[in-house]
Structure 1
Amino acid sequence: MDESIFYIPTPSKNSASHATSIHTSHHHITFRASSSPRNGAYLTGFGPGERLFTCSATKALIEVYSWGKEGVDQRIPLPEALTCLTVVPQPVSASDELEKLTKFRLPWLLAGGTASGKIYIWELTSGDLVSVRDAHYQGITTVKFSPCGTFLVTGGDDARVIVWSVVDLLTDDKAKPYFSITDHTLPITDLLLSDSGVVHDLRLYTTSTDCTVRVYDVLSKSLLTTFVLPYGVNCVAKDPANRALYVGLVNGMIRTIPLYTINKTTSVLESIGGMNKIITIDNDVNLANTFTHHHAPITQLDISLDGTSLISGDETGVVYASDIVTKQIIKTFTKCDSAIAYLKVETLPKSIDSGITTVDKKHRMIPPFKRVLRSDEEHNLFVDIPGHHLSDNSSFEQWLDQKQQEEVEFKNLSDVASEVKQVEEKTYNKDLELKLQRLSAVYSELRTKHEQLIKDHANLLDRVDNQ
């Protein structure tokens, strides 16, 4: 297994995006003349059948690149220019056999934000415009789907973060936001949602130029922790094991924020923050928790699967891979002519690494995007249903039962099972009772003899002293 990085710059004369390995010298592909505004690109994955979506802040256009082709594969016109975009895959993952039949299936939804504060959501399989919302008072800077596809989170220049329910956005034209955050005072720069895959444990990390990083519990709509840093924050990445946060600052430094610490009194590992605490991150004079190899504001961050390598890009187009323990540069990637707009790290199995630059000409094209909202009541939704056979109707029911059982197991947070069991009454054992009485009698006799011996010894010592 190998790990690869993909990064794309902002528009420039000779803009190009690259996909290359982190640990080896293998270069996968270069997409020529590809660029996007910050947070305005999304790569669905590495390998044949995957796509790169980019938008232009000046043109109402989305460009789609297919893996294996260096040039643009499709240009899709839009009703309004987008400033950022994101894509969510199909809500149901396919099994191995179904994966072979629909190897190049399209993602589910594409969401984009505009400079006027609107959100547009299209369904990629049909091209239908399924939702339009006036979300922010100013331009939208970043938009992210939760890993489970339940929520859509947007952040804008108006210092607001809004959490939307995807189901409400698709079904209700007058749906209100699920959660609106107004704690920040300056524009939002980045959003990060935890990748636990369970909505009950979903965490939202927000960064802003007001020098704060805030952590929220999405389901309970509560603020957990506020980290205050000495400089404005541009981006954030999280350790895969939730041990620390890594934030890119406007002064070109990357700061580590530990999420756990050892209590010096009890020597117990304790979590940092929670209960709406405000924690101030002071200047790191000894640079024990600071990466200092960049000389320009950090724009993008990501971390490797094992949490040992930190990938960072800045406004000058420099991209580094750094060792988290030693904080030294382990690899320098091809430099871009402008700031890094999007960066993604993903693992690759060896089975596809050898033929990763190939392309299948039979992959499905994306239909043109509609400019008006879908008005018909009936709508065909294309979803991949898991199962060993497409004609097997029982496989879907089994999948529903499995998901219901997983939900019940997650809600039982304690180690005590909630099931009630009847225990038969034990019969009275006379033999054990007789043995216990016999041992008690022997113990009492032995204790009496011991006390008598102590008295005799004391009397003997008194007679010796009197003589």
Structure 2
Amino acid sequence: MLPQEIILSACSTSTPGAGPSRPNTSLVPSIQAHDLLTCLPLHSYKSSTSALHSLSYVPSRNGQGGTIMAVQENKSLLYVWAWQKDQMLSKLHLPDKLTCFSISPNGVWATGGSPGGQIYLWELASGTLLSSFSAHYRQVVSLTFTPDSRLLLSASLDGSIHIHLVARLAEADHLGKPYGTLRDHTLAIRDVVVGKTSGVHGGRCWTISDDGTVKMWDLHPPFDLLCTFSLTPASIPTALVVDSSERFFYVSTSNGDIFYVPLFRRRDEVGGLGAVEAVGGGVFGSSAVKLEGGRVISLKTAITALALSITASHLLVGTVAGTVQIHSLPSHQHLSTISLPGPCSYISTLPRPPDMPVGPSTTTKDLWPVMEVKPLERVKNPPSWRTREASILLRADLDRLDSLRSVPVTKGNCAGLSVAVESQGTRYSLTEEKLRVLQEENTALREGLERATRINETMWRSIVDGVVESESS
């Protein structure tokens, strides 16, 4: 049975460059979780308004409850929630009014960008500010980790994307020099998406810019430009989502259009080496691919966020009007709509956390211990680099049957479990009984061996004595 897939969404009070919005004032601004198939609300984390690229989360795993973290819009505050409760877990003060925020997939690092181009890197377990440096000369738009948490990509309104090695950023003497730079866009960057297999060893990433292009890059030095996709004139891309298998991607525009772009196509020439080839995979920096006729969805409002379900069976579209539209793939049929209190600023799909409450029957006994979130340092303090304390959850090494032994067993509950638990209690008595039987068998065999030995000696002596007497006579 597949785990339940949920939709995590957030809203903002306003979306720059998206035009006027019509928020649903009857709803309280919050981070909401809905079921993907039924669109029923599952949980709500109050109260929060965050800008684009300002929300991230740590999944619950290894018996430890995860958290949701969101930088509040136009405030130097970071709100933290646990998956288990709708009330805020803690409120952390930040060194600046951050414009973007991200947590590494392994849950170790947290990073934020400022309007002036400053980037901050914290260690979540201790709250230590490991690095603070000026990476761009304009506002940082997004910060994206690769799935292996080793590379950090920073995008800015100055039109550049810097690639940083996280291991170098964590060094005390780091000066902020990037590992590499992606320079080909002429206007501000709006979004960066990395492939599921990307990392320090290589992979691909996609970027969108106000210059009306989507660019695909190689994440292995020297970070070559693989392909450029050009949108129709007067179309400015606003959001991008890539299939987990990197077969296609969707890009939205400020006009409310969504384009479907396949990353593989059939060869036109006869006698090719294969029936299918990669788009832009032939020569580095090949000519731009024009997205003509690829529009599959057209809305009457600007689009702010895109997301795909885990199995790529649904496309989620967040709008400035405060709605999340769900479309079926590959037909692109509109299935349902979720209303938000304001312009949608975040959408993602994920398996339902195991510690998320199922209903009012959930008790504190069923909740997992939540990861400790310490205050984030606002100034880099060299002494704390050597004396910082990190919190680690230590769990007792319990027998797997301990949970079964603690369950009250009744006759109608589980007959097989009753037999298993009862046999556990009589195991030692059965072992002693078997040992006693073996000892008795051993004693009987020894006695039989001694009797056979005596009979053998008696027969041997009688034969020898008879032979000796016959020879003497």
Distance 1:80 1:380, change over 3 A: closer
Q: Does residue 318 of structure 1 match 2:323? A: yes
Check whether the contact 2:65–2:355 (CA below 8 A) recurs between aligned residues.
no
Deviation at 1:387, TM superposition (A): 13
Deviation at 1:348, TM superposition (A): 3.6
Check whether the contact 2:261–2:291 (CA below 8 A) recurs between aligned residues.
no
After TM superposition, list the pairs within 5 Å mapping 1:8-407 onto structure 2: 8-11=10-13, 14-45=28-59, 49-90=65-106, 107-171=107-171, 172-196=173-197, 198-220=199-221, 221-230=223-232, 231-264=235-268, 265-266=270-271, 268-274=275-281, 275-284=284-293, 289-333=294-338, 335-348=339-352, 355=358, 360=367, 362-376=369-383, 378=386, 382=390
Equivalenced residue count is 368
Distance 1:28 1:45 in 2: 17
1:378 counterpart letter in structure 2: R
After TM superposition, list the pairs within 5 Å mapping 1:397-436 onto structure 2: none
Q: For 1:61-98, what per-residue CA distance to the aligned partner results, in whole angstroms no more than 9, with x for missing partners? A: 111112232232211011211111000143xxxxxxxx
Q: Select which of 1, 6, 9 maps to 1:7.
A: 9
1:363 counterpart letter in structure 2: V
Q: For 1:254-303, what per-residue CA distance to the aligned partner results, in whole angstroms no more than 9, with x for missing partners? A: 1011110111334711111031123332432xxxx323252222111111
Distance 2:139 2:127 in 1: 24
Identity of matched residues, % = 25
Deviation at 1:32, TM superposition (A): 2.1
Q: State the SS of the aligned residue for 2:288.
A: strand
Between 251-260 and 364-373, report the one with greater CA deviation. Answer: 364-373
Q: State the SS of the aligned residue for 2:311.
A: coil
Q: For 1:332-357, what per-residue CA distance to the aligned partner results, in whole angstroms no more than 9, with x for missing partners? A: 22x123221111111348x7677388
Q: For 1:340-384, what per-residue CA distance to the aligned partner results, in whole angstroms no more than 9, with x for missing partners? A: 1111111348x7677388574842431111122131363568597
1:137 counterpart letter in structure 2: Y
Q: For 1:72-128, what per-residue CA distance to the aligned partner results, in whole angstroms no more than 9, with x for missing partners? A: 2211011211111000143xxxxxxxxxxxxxxxx3111000111100111111111
Distance 2:145 2:394 in 1: 22
Distance 1:372 1:282, change over 3 A: closer
Distance 1:379 1:194, change over 3 A: farther
Check whether the contact 1:313–1:319 (CA below 8 A) recurs between aligned residues.
yes
Between 339-348 and 108-117, report the one with greater CA deviation. Answer: 339-348
Distance 1:25 1:343 in 2: 14
Deviation at 1:201, TM superposition (A): 3.6
Q: For 1:38-70, what per-residue CA distance to the aligned partner results, in whole angstroms no more than 9, with x for missing partners? A: 111113237982211111242211111122322
Distance 2:191 2:225 in 1: 17
Q: State the SS of the aligned residue for 1:204.
A: strand
Q: 5+ unaligned residues in a row in structure 2: which ranges? A: 15-24, 399-473
Distance 1:211 1:166, change over 3 A: same
Check whether the contact 1:46–1:348 (CA below 8 A) recurs between aligned residues.
no
Distance 2:389 2:373 in 1: 15
1:7 counterpart letter in structure 2: S
Check whether the contact 1:294–1:314 (CA below 8 A) recurs between aligned residues.
no
Distance 1:198 1:168, change over 3 A: closer
Q: For 1:359-417, what per-residue CA distance to the aligned partner results, in whole angstroms no more than 9, with x for missing partners? A: 74842431111122131363568597999979xxxxxxxxxxxxxxxxxxxxxxxxxxx
Distance 2:265 2:292 in 1: 18
Check whether the contact 1:321–1:332 (CA below 8 A) recurs between aligned residues.
yes
The CA RMSD measured in Å over matched residues stands at: 2.8
Distance 1:89 1:149 in 2: 6
Distance 1:59 1:324, change over 3 A: same
Q: State the SS of the aligned residue for 2:207.
A: strand
Please, what TM-score do these two structures have when normalized by structure 1?
Answer: 0.73
Structure 1 partner of 2:405: none
Distance 1:161 1:25 in 2: 36
Check whether the contact 1:6–1:343 (CA below 8 A) recurs between aligned residues.
yes
Distance 2:92 2:206 in 1: 32
Please, what TM-score do these two structures have when normalized by structure 2?
Answer: 0.72
Deviation at 1:143, TM superposition (A): 0.8
Check whether the contact 1:142–1:191 (CA below 8 A) recurs between aligned residues.
yes
Deviant stretches of 4+, over 4 Å: 351-354, 356-359, 379-390
Q: For 1:423-461, what per-residue CA distance to the aligned partner results, in whole angstroms no more than 9, with x for missing partners? A: xxxxxxxxxxxxxxxxxxxxxxxxxxxxxxxxxxxxxxx
Deviation at 1:198, TM superposition (A): 5.0
